Amino acid sequence: MRFLVFLFISIPIVEMWVLIEVGSAIGALSTIGLVFLTAAVGLALLRQQGINTLLKVNARMERGELPAGEILEGVMLAVGGALLLTPGFITDVIGFCCLLPFTRKALVAILLRQGVIMSGYGRSSHTNFQDSVRTHVHSQSDWKSAGEEQQHDGANNVIDGDFRREE
């Protein structure tokens, strides 16, 4: 928590310092124009990458696969877009890192490897959503095979059943 407070205080101070330094080097109007230019380029890139990620999510869901990686990339896109709308060059660099496909995938891989985010990202692309749910459900210790009577202490109420869609 203290680290977040430190970030919320220090980042705007550093951003102001960088803006003042850049403004004194190239001029105030040029600096303001550069800030607007990075925001405009960032929004165009966000729109293009967001549409690509949404198409990937739809394609994986149509195949019955869980789009965990694409969801994480979508979160990175949202973070990157917010950082690009924040005036400043340091946040713009971080925002562009979240928006560019090669750096975004590397950041997601690092977060997953460090255990910051837990997901099925990186598993085989053949993992079917229903198979992953079935694996999770049947990996629970209180489940038994079909036909066997389940015994519970009242804490876990489990309803097992099948369904089919009739149109």
Given pLDDT bands bounded at 50, 70 and 90, which one contains residue 118? Answer: low
Over residues 69-92, mean pLDDT? 89
Residue 21 is predicted with a pLDDT of: 95
Top-confidence residue, 164 or 11: 11
Does residue 112 register a pLDDT over 80? no
Residue 140 is predicted with a pLDDT of: 42
Over residues 65-93, mean pLDDT? 88
Residue 80 is predicted with a pLDDT of: 92
Does residue 23 register a pLDDT over 90? yes
Contact 64, 129 (CB under 8 A): yes
pTM: 0.64
Euclidean distance between CA atoms 81 and 38, whole angstroms: 11
